[in-house]
Amino acid sequence: MVTRLLPVLGDQLSHDLASLCAADKTTDVVVMAEVAGEARYVPHHPKKIALIFAAMRQFADELRAQGWRVAYTQLTDPDNTHSLSGEILRYASLYGCDQVLATRAGEWRVIGEFDALPLRVSVVEDSRFLASHAEFQAWAEGRKQLRMEYFYREMRRKTGLLMQPDGTPEGGKWNYDAENRKRAQPDMLRPKPLRFAPSAQTQAVLAMVAQHFGQNFGTLDDFWFATNRAEALQALDHFATYLLPSFGDTQDAMLVDDAFLNHAVLAPYLNLGLLGPMEICQRVQAEWRAGRVPLNAAEGFIRQVIGWREYVRGIYFREGPYYTSRNALGHTRPLPAFYWGAPTRMACVAAAVAQTRQQAYAHHIQRLMVTGNFALLAGVSPQELHMWYLAVYADAFEWVESPNTIGMSQFADDGIIASKPYVSSGAYIDRMSDYCGSCSYKVKEKTGPRACPFNLLYWDFLMRHEGRFAKNPRMAQMYRTWARMAPGHRETVLREAQALLARLDAGAVV
C-alpha cells in the first residue's frame, strides 16, 4: 500500500530533506524524474545537465540502499511525460495514490507546477537554509534599505560563527573585505579544486547528454565534478586544507590561464544539496581556530555562504515571481553573440566566456565585473542576461542567480540589493587581472580606435542615466569628474561610444 508520493527534485539531494524526515519508508514512495521540461526551459550547459542527472541517479541509489522505494524516471524512458507534474501524476495513477508530500521547491516556476497538481499536496518548508522565509521577512519588515551587511551580522549572531562569547565578532570587525582585493600572480604550483573521474554510471549520463543536448553552448569534455555526497565532502576537505589559506587575499583576482585560483567551486554541491551550509562554514571556522588560515580568508568565505547566499534567497522569495521581469533602467539591447562564443576583441570577455564554455564556471568577479559589467554598460536586456547566466553555470538556480543578476549585476530592481550600479571602466579590470596585457584594445586609451570599450561605455552609461544617479552619494564624484573634462573630449567619448554600440547592434566584431 502506498500512502504518499515524495517528489525529490534535482536540487534537493539531501538525506535530511524535510519531506524525507517526515515520511515513512514502509508506505511512501520517493519520485525522481529527469524531464525535458527542466532540462530545456533554458539551454543549460551540457556539464550542468550531466552533473544534475548523474547526482540524481546516485542519490536514488543511496535512498534504495537505505530501504526507500524509489520510482525513478530516466530522460529516455519511453513513458516519460517530460514534466515534473506529469511524472507525479503518472506515478499517482500507477500506485493508486492521491497524496503528495513535498519539500517546498526553490523556484517560483516549480512552485506553480506543484500548486496546479490535482492531488492532495502537503508542502513542508526547506530546512536546509539558515533563515526561513518568515525569518527573512521579519528582518526586512520596516527597513528602508535591505542591505546584506546587516542581515549577515544577524546570521553571524544566530549561528555563532566567528563570534566571541561576549557577542562581538572575532578580530573586532564584522567584515574583512578590504583585505580581499589583491591581484594574483600566475603560479603553476597553485592547488586546484579536487577532480573526480566519472564513474561508469556518470559516463552513461554523459553519453546521453551528448546525444540530446550536445548542441547547447558548452562542452562535456573533461567532466570532473563530484556527483555524490562522499565526493563532495572530499572536495570540501581539499579546499579547506589546500586552497582556503590563500582564498581571501585574491578572491577578486582574475587570470587568463587560471580559471579557479583559490576558489572552492563548492557552490554546485551546496546548491544541489550534497553539502550543507553549516558543515561547510564550521569546517572553515575550524581551520581558522587551528591557526591554519587567516581571519580574512575564513570570514570572507563564511560571508558568502551565510550572508550573501541566504540574503539573495530571502530577496527572491520576498519580491515574488515577477522579480525576474524587472527592468528599472529600461535596457533592451539583445545579448551580444559573443556571450555564446562568437568572436570578440575584448580579451577579458573572451576569457570569461571561453572559461564558461569549458568549465560551466566563472567566479563572482568575472560574472559581476566582466560579463555583467559589459551588459550593464551596453544597455543589454537584464532578462536576456539573466537567462544566459541561468543556462551556462553549473551552480545556477533561479533563486540564487536572479537576485545576483537582476539586482546586484544589472540594477534592474532599482536598488533593492545594490546601493549603486556595479559599473567600471577598464581600469578596474586591469587592476584585478592580467587580461588587458593581451587585449587588442588599450586600457589606458580613453578615445580612438584602440580605446577600451569599457572606458567609452562607462561614461556613456553615466550620461544616459544622469538624472537617476547624479545625486547618488556613491556616484557623485564621477559626475564631477565628467564635468571637469574638456567639452570636446566629452563629445568625442559619447560619439565614439554610440559608434561602438552601433557596431555591436550591426553584428560587427567588437
Q: Are residues 453 and 474 in the same domain?
A: yes
How far apart CA 339 and CA 385 sit, in angstroms, is 9
Express each pLDDT in 11-55 by its tens digit.
Answer: 999 999 999 999 999 999 999 999 999 999 999 999 999 999 999
Residue 327 placed within a domain: no
Give me the CATH number covering residue 32: 3.40.50.620
Span 290-304, pLDDT tens digits: 999 999 999 999 999
User: Alpha-carbon distance 204 to 58, whole Å?
Assistant: 12
Same domain, 119 and 137: no
Same domain, 88 and 105: yes
Q: Nine-digit cell at 151?
A: 542581515
Sign of CA dihedral 376, 379, 383, 387: negative
The DSSP code for 199 is P
- What sign does the dihedral 234-237-241-244 (CA atoms) show? positive
CATH number of the domain within which 268 lies: 1.25.40.80
Distance CA 375, CA 382 (A): 8
Domain assignment present for 187: yes
- At residue 253, the pLDDT reads 97
Q: Would you place residue 3 in the very low, low, confident or very high pLDDT band (cuts 50, 70, 90)?
A: confident
333: pLDDT strictly greater than 90: yes
Whole-model pTM: value is 0.97
Listed residues 124, 157, 189: the one ending a domain = 124
Q: How many structural domains comprise the chain?
A: 3
Domain end residue (candidates: 105, 124, 143): 124
For the segment 43-58, what is each residue's pLDDT rounded down to a tens digit?
999 999 999 999 999 9
Residue 123: partners with Cβ closer than 8 Å, 6 or more residues away: 102, 103, 104, 114
Q: Are residues 140 and 161 in the same domain?
A: yes
Q: How far apart are CA 219 and CA 32, in angstroms?
A: 26
Residue 237 and residue 357 share a domain? no
C-alpha cell at 126: 526547506
Do residues 291 and 298 lie in contact, with contact meaning Cβ atoms separated by under 8 Å? no
Q: Distance between CA atoms of 356 and 241, rounded to whole angstroms? A: 26
Over the stretch 484-494, which tens digit does the pLDDT of each residue have? 999 999 999 99
Q: Are residues 80 and 143 in the same domain?
A: no
**384 has pLDDT over 90:** yes
For the segment 162-220, what is each residue's pLDDT rounded down to a tens digit? Answer: 999 999 999 999 999 999 889 999 998 999 999 999 999 999 999 999 999 999 999 99
* 43, 151: one domain: no
Which residue is listed with cell 562564443? 341
Using pLDDT thresholds of 50, 70 and 90, give the confidence band for residue 80.
Answer: very high
Per-residue burial over 481-490, b = 16 or more CB atoms within 10 Å of its CB, e = otherwise: ebeeeeeeee
Q: Name the H helices within 116-260.
A: 133-140, 148-159, 200-213, 229-238
Asked whether residue 328 is domain-assigned, the answer is no
Provide the grid cell at 185. 600572480
Calculate mean pLDDT across residues 490-503.
Answer: 98
Nearest alpha-carbon partner for 390 in 152, 41, 105: 41
pLDDT at 289: 98
Q: Is residue 510 part of a domain?
A: no
Q: CA 9, 200, 41: angle at the middle one, nearest 5? A: 35
**In sequence order, what DSSP letters do the residues of 443-464 get, joined into one string?**
TT--SSTTB-HHHHHHHHHHHH
Whether residue 352 sits in one domain with residue 501? yes
Domain check: are 198 and 256 in the same one? Answer: yes
Residue 472 included in any domain: yes
Rounded to 5°, angle at Cα 304 from 301 and 305: 95
Q: What is the mean pLDDT of the chain?
A: 97
The set of residues, in sequence order, having a beta carbon less than 8 Å from that of 98 and lying 6+ positions away, is 92, 119, 120
pLDDT exceeds 90 at position 509: yes
Q: Which amino acid is at 118?
A: P
Contact indicator for 273, 128 with CB cutoff of 8 Å:
yes
- Strands 120-124 and 5-7 come out as unpaired
Q: What is the dihedral of CA 143, 148, 149, 153, to 10 degrees?
A: 80
Whether pLDDT at 1 is above 90: no
Residue range of the domain that includes 226: 133-313
331: in domain: no
- Is the Cβ–Cβ distance between 132 and 124 less than 8 Å? no
Domain boundary among 313, 345, 371: 313
- 181 and 98 belong to one structural domain: no
In a domain, 21, yes or no: yes
CB neighbours of residue 42 within 10 Å: 17
Q: Are 63 and 164 in the same domain?
A: no
Per-residue CA distances from 384 to 36, 48, 416, 460, 461 (Å): 21, 19, 20, 21, 19
Q: Would you state the cell numbers that stand for residue 23, as one nine-digit string?
A: 515520511
What is the reported pLDDT for 492?
A: 98
Give me the CATH number covering residue 380.
1.10.579.10
Together in a domain, 142 and 66: no
462 assigned to some structural domain: yes
